[in-house]
Chain A
Amino acid sequence: MINASEIERALIGKLASDPQLAALMPDGVYWDLATLGSEKFVIVTLSTSRGLAEFHDVDTFRTFVYLVKAVALGTDSDPIAPAAERIQALLDHGDITFPAAAGCSLMLLRWVDRVRYTETAAGETWQHRGARYEITVTPL
């Protein structure tokens, strides 16, 4: 059985263990929501998912599309631009090692589409920059 939580844990682990990304986004990598007070961080969240059952209703593969974005307080393009670049360098056609508990192996990891916008709230400006990435896996 494919365990999506383990896939997501592996994805976050890959991003969080990269020293270059950690230097740019020192407040960490989070699922959905960062801890209060964070000013430079990475958010990972599920955007869409689908499966393809081909034989006897057994999944041949599953695709998960994750939004992975850097979020930073301020208007400077540094460190948000290099952080988004680093995320792409790590993920686009990159590799992820899944634990056995994930129950699957990686078929494809790739950039899907870009996400970039600016948020203004309570007199502060936040920048969000990253992309959606597709992870396609096949059961072991």
Chain B
Amino acid sequence: MPNKLKLSGFSELQRDLSTLPIDLRAQSAPIVTQHARRAAELLRATYPVVTGALRAGVKLIERVPRGVAVLYTVTSSAAHAHLYEFGTSKTSPRATFLPITERERRQSTTAVADVVTRAGLKVTGARD
């Protein structure tokens, strides 16, 4: 008996694949936005207020999207932000920016990976 493999439904698959990134972007964008905003809010709430420069230096910038990407940049732009984070010769480091931004980025990545997984795709690799 000859072997026969019949495949069908390519047009449907092609159509689904072509719309998938747009659908996933629509579902993922609010997640990324939420975590980026929360990182900025947490930083402002956590930094001490002496001159107010640390708190005022927290910026949330939405980048121009490239393709399906959703991009935000959270910065701590006070002139002494690195001295606060990493310490001086006479003061201890107070890790603030890195723990908060890394945690929010990790949670955002995990939530987006869940969206992609629910769409039937497999997500591999590190999520942080």
Contacts and interface: CB of A to CB of B under 8 A. Distances in A.
B113 to A, nearest CB: 14
B86 A32 contact: no
Contacts of B87: 32-33, 43, 45, 128
Contacts, number: 51
A55 interface: no
Interface in B53-92: 82-83, 86-92
Contacts of A78: none
A121 B89 contact: yes
Given A47-B98, A48-B98, A48-B99, A119 B92 contact: no
Interface string B82-116: 11001111111101001100110010000000000
Interface residues of A, number: 22
| Size bracket, chain B contacts | 10 to 19
B89 A50 contact: no
A34 B88 CA distance: 10
Given A33-B87, A43-B87, A45-B92, 4 more contacts: A32-B87, A47-B95, A67-B95, A128-B87
